[in-house]
Amino acid sequence: MKNPNKTKLPTMIDASIPVIFLVVLLTASVSTFGDNSSYGPNQIALLASMGIAIVIGLKNGFTWNSIEKAIVHGISLSLGAILILLAVGSLIGTWLLSGTVPTMIYYGLQILSPEWFYAATCIICGIVAMSIGSSWTTAATIGVALLGIAQGLGLSPEIAAGAVISGAYFGDKISPLSETTNLAPAIAGSELFSHIRYMLWTTIPSISIALILFLLLGFSESAAVSSQAITELNEQLAKNFSISPVNLIPLFVLLALAIRKVPAFPAVSIGAIVGAICAMIFQQELILKLAKNTDSVFLANLTVVWTTLFDGVAIATGDLKLNDLLSGGGMSSMLNTVWLIICALSFGSVLEHLGMLRKFLDVILKAAKSTGSLIASTVVTCIGTNIVTADQYMAIVMPGRMYKEEYQRRGLHPVVLSRTLEDAGTITSPLIPWNTCGAYMYSVLLVNPLDYIFYCFFNLINPILAIIYGFIGFKIKKIINVNTQSKPV
């Protein structure tokens, strides 16, 4: 091994080889395995590409010990998200068992019509996400129920998932409770509420256009089921669960915890536990039906709830589609997502440690002469970081650190950078299947990102609008005096 002090910076060819290799392998993975590509093939593609990058790094003088430390550090950044994922798996399971999700579906089928459904879904998820500051929690709770309602109404799950994600990320993005909304201004050096106000110039037009598109899709949708079919579905729900507004207690508890700024992991864990308690109180008939040993009521409750926490729940109604709707959850349901996250972050960490990502940035900055091209470059870098490192936090932190000096040098106010980081880094993360956010949305909504990507209108429009603003100079704040004041241009 060479001395780490004698490491060489990678050439553009060095930096490009692992990325090109990854793109080729991921394309082959998706074309060969389809929807199953996230269940192993993509992980192998990421690890194989990481292996290529490591070989190049060793050639450039990096030691295996330094590379290994970088991988371990990169994985450690995701441990918080992994804990949340496992807790969400338990929450989905207990909320199915407690009747929380079935109750939301039951009442939702009665008040949501096909014509307004997609737009209403987007608005509902936006309000909830803005209130609690979490797109993930919104998707795993309200989002899961709304996907169930879409299935009951015979609507497209892909469009419904796009509406859920559009609303969830809009609300998350403008919420002062959101982690990413706090992270972006912290990295760029702007103030939180100035950052949120400045984001409204891109988010409000983007969500408005998205809502119009969802309305058009809704009014052109021909519902595949009749009112009689909806009635039958509700009857099946009532037959298998004790349907009552009290089943919504876990939802209100979780919302209250989120509004009080309780961190995501304990909040979701408490929500799962409350769901388990409500199941034992309100769904005794279902628990006894699911229990293999009914000699002891206590043992039946213990085994069913315990199993639900780690392995989810499987409800047999006689209707296969309804069975799929009412079954799932458990920590085990998240293990494949955890596997994908670990592989993706390992690959991204190696590229960052070996200086390959920095190499791409140096080339980009040489071409970014105008303000518009600089903002466009930032957007592209954020999206590229989301693709390569597979983590929305890295897609904010890394480009933020890379571009901060250049924005200051060109006299651009920090809110321009912080807004751009969110317009591209946060927003595009759920569109990438192997990104932590894309993998998460797949695991809770059960719709492949490659299927819902074209319907995440807010997430697609927002980065484009940010680039347009940059080139036409609309709402691009510039610094007059670095120490005192600034003005919008």
* Confidence category of residue 481, pLDDT binned at 50, 70, 90: low
Percent of the chain with pLDDT over 70: 94
Residue 460 has pLDDT above 50, yes or no: yes
pLDDT for the residue 229? 66
CA distance 354 to 61: 10
Tens of pLDDT, residues 56-74: 999 999 999 999 999 998 8
Quick one: how far is CA 300 from the chain centroid?
Answer: 36
Question: Which has the minimum average pLDDT: 148-162, 203-217, 394-408, 410-424?
Answer: 394-408
Alpha-carbon distance values, 109 to 224, 225, 227, 263, 325 (Å): 14, 12, 10, 32, 14
Residues 6+ apart with CB under 8 A from 93: 272, 308, 309, 311, 312, 313, 328, 329, 330, 333
User: Averaged over 444-469, what is the pLDDT?
Assistant: 94
Q: Hey, is 88 helix, strand or coil?
A: helix
Q: How many other C-beta atoms lie within 10 A of the C-beta of residue 44?
A: 12
Q: Hey, is 478 helix, strand or coil?
A: strand
Tens of pLDDT, residues 41-59: 888 988 999 999 999 999 9
Residue 269 has pLDDT above 50, yes or no: yes
Mark residue 477 as left, alpha or beta (left: phi above 0; alpha: psi -120 to 50; beta: remaining).
beta
Question: Which has the minimum average pLDDT: 57-61, 263-267, 469-473?
Answer: 263-267
Helix (H) or strand (E) holding 425: none
Alpha-carbon distance values, 314 to 162, 244, 320, 403 (Å): 26, 21, 11, 49
Tens of pLDDT, residues 310-363: 999 988 877 776 787 788 889 998 888 788 778 877 888 898 899 987 887 778
Percent of the chain with pLDDT over 90: 39
User: Averaged over 29-33, what is the pLDDT?
Assistant: 81
**Among 381, 377, 376, 395, residue whose Cα is nearest residue 438:** 395
Q: How many other C-beta atoms lie within 10 A of the C-beta of residue 176?
A: 13
CA distance 10 to 359: 7
Evaluate the CA torsion angle 306, 311, 313, 314 in order and state its sign.
negative
Structure tokens, 431 = 């569109």
Global confidence as pTM? 0.74
Q: Hey, is 486 helix, strand or coil?
A: strand
User: Averaged over 358-372, what is the pLDDT?
Assistant: 80
Question: Which has the minimum average pLDDT: 79-83, 280-284, 442-446?
Answer: 79-83
Provide the β-strand partners of residue 204: none
Mark residue 407 as left, alpha or beta (left: phi above 0; alpha: psi -120 to 50; beta: remaining).
alpha
Q: How many other C-beta atoms lie within 10 A of the C-beta of residue 6?
A: 9
CA distance 107 to 244: 10
pLDDT for the residue 158? 95
